[in-house]
Amino acid sequence: MSDIKILVVTDKANELTIIRYSVKESGYSLVEAGSPSQALELARSHKPYLMLLDADYSALAPKEFLQIVEYAKEHKLCLILIISESLTENLQKHLNRPSIDYIKRPLDRLGVLFRIKSVMRYKDVQNALDVLRDKLKENIERFRQTVVLDEESGIYNYNHLLYLLKREFARAVRYNLSLTFISVNIPALGEIEEKYGARQKGRLLGELAGSIKKSLRISDILARCRNDRLGILLVQTDNKNAQSVGKKIYRQLKTYRISLPKLADSDISEEDLAIGANISLGFSSFPSNEINSFEELITAAEAQFSS
C-alpha cells in the first residue's frame, strides 16, 4: 500500500463503496472524513495528495466549502468535486482552477479510477515543475551573483558599480541631490598579490570590505575597482559629511593587520603585514562645476592619488 493518501468526504454509502474499490485498485491509501467539519482536520493531520469532496453533501455549508477550497489552494492539494449533472454558477467559478477537477454522477469504478490517476499524474507533474522552478531560481541567483559580484572578494564588481553609479548620478541630477564617490587606494595589495597570490589578495579585499561596511549605511555602495582600489558611493551625501565618513574608514584601515600566514621563503616581516602605511583616500562630490557625468566622478577621485 502506497504512503500517498486520498481523503474522501461524502455521506453516500454506495458512492463511498465505489471510491474505496477505486482507491484500493490505484494502490493509494484512503482516509474517510465522517463529516465536512472533520475534513480540514484530517487534511491537516494526514496531508493527503488528493481530496474527493461531495459538493452535494447535505451537511456541507457554503462557508465550509470555501474553507476547503482555500485550504486546497494554499497547500497545493488537488481536489475532485463529486457533482450532480447540473453545475451551479458558484461551482463553475471554482472549477476554473487547474488543481480542481470534477466527476459527475452516477459514479462507476473505472470512471473514478481514471479520474484519480489523471489528477495524480497532474500532481506529479506539478511537483516536478516545482523542483525545476526551485533549481531555476537557484541558478538565476547564482548567475546574478556572478554578474554583479567580484568572485574573489564577494563585493560588487566594477561593472556593477558603474551601473549603480550611473543610476544614482541621474537621480542626483534630476532631484538636485548630493552624491560623493570615495576611492580607496591600498598600495600594499600589490605586494600581497606578489608574495601570496591573487586569491589571497581577493580574500583580503573581502575582509577589508567587511570592516569598511561598519562605517557605511545600508544605502551606500561598496565595490572593487580597478588597480587594487575600493570604491565607495555615498548617496545623498555632500563632501563635508563624506570627509567624516572617510576619516572613520581611514582609521579602521590604518590599524588593520593582515591575517595571512607568514611565508617561510618571504622577506615580508610582521611589520609589513599592517597594510595602512601608504593607504590614501580620494574624494569627489556632486554637485560641482567640474563634475558633469558619473565617469568624471570616478576620475576626479582617482586623480587625487597622482596629484
Residues 88 and 99: their CA atoms lie apart, in Å, by 19
User: Average pLDDT for residues 58-62, to the nearest whole number?
Assistant: 81
The grid cell for 62 is 457554503
β partners of residue 103? 82
The count of other CB atoms within 10 Å of the CB of residue 137 is: 10
Task: Find all residues with CB under 8 Å of 68, minimum gap 6, and list them.
Answer: 9, 36, 39, 40, 43, 51, 53, 79
Look at residue 125 and tell me whether its pLDDT is greater than 50. Answer: yes
Least confident of 19-23, 133-137, 297-301: 133-137
What local confidence, expressed as pLDDT, does residue 32 receive?
A: 94
Contact criterion met (CB below 8 Å) for 246 and 239: no
More confident residue, 191 or 245: 245
Cell of 237: 551625501
Q: According to the model, what pLDDT value does residue 270 have? A: 44
Task: Give pLDDT tens digits for 33-49.
Answer: 988 889 999 999 999 98
Give per-residue pLDDT as tens, 96-121. Answer: 666 788 888 899 999 999 988 888 88
Calculate mean pLDDT across residues 185-196.
80
Mean pLDDT estimate for the chain: 83
Grid coordinates of 91: 461551482
**Using DSSP, how many helices (H) and how many strands (E) does the chain show?**
10, 9
pLDDT in the model for residue 274: 60
Domain boundary assignment for the chain: 5-139, 158-303
Backbone angles phi, psi at 80, to 5 degrees: -110, 120
Q: What average pLDDT score do residues 239-250 get?
A: 91
Kindly indicate the confidence band of residue 210, based on its pLDDT and cuts at 50, 70 and 90: confident
- Stretch 145-155: mean pLDDT: 79
CATH number for the domain running over 158-303: 3.30.70.270
**Type of residue at 214:** K
CA distance 8 to 30: 7
231: pLDDT confidence band, cut at 50, 70 and 90?
A: very high
- CATH fold of the domain at 5-139: Rossmann fold (3.40.50)
User: Could you tell me if 19 and 10 are in contact, meaning their C-beta atoms sit under 8 angstroms apart?
Assistant: yes
- pLDDT on residue 59: 80
Q: Which residue has the higher pLDDT, 138 or 307?
A: 138
Could you write out the DSSP letters of every residue in 121-135? HHHHHHHHHHHHHHH
- Give the residue among 57, 8, 53 at the shortest CA–CA distance from 29: 8
Whole-prediction pTM: 0.54
Lowest mean pLDDT among 14-18, 85-89, 174-178, 296-300: 85-89
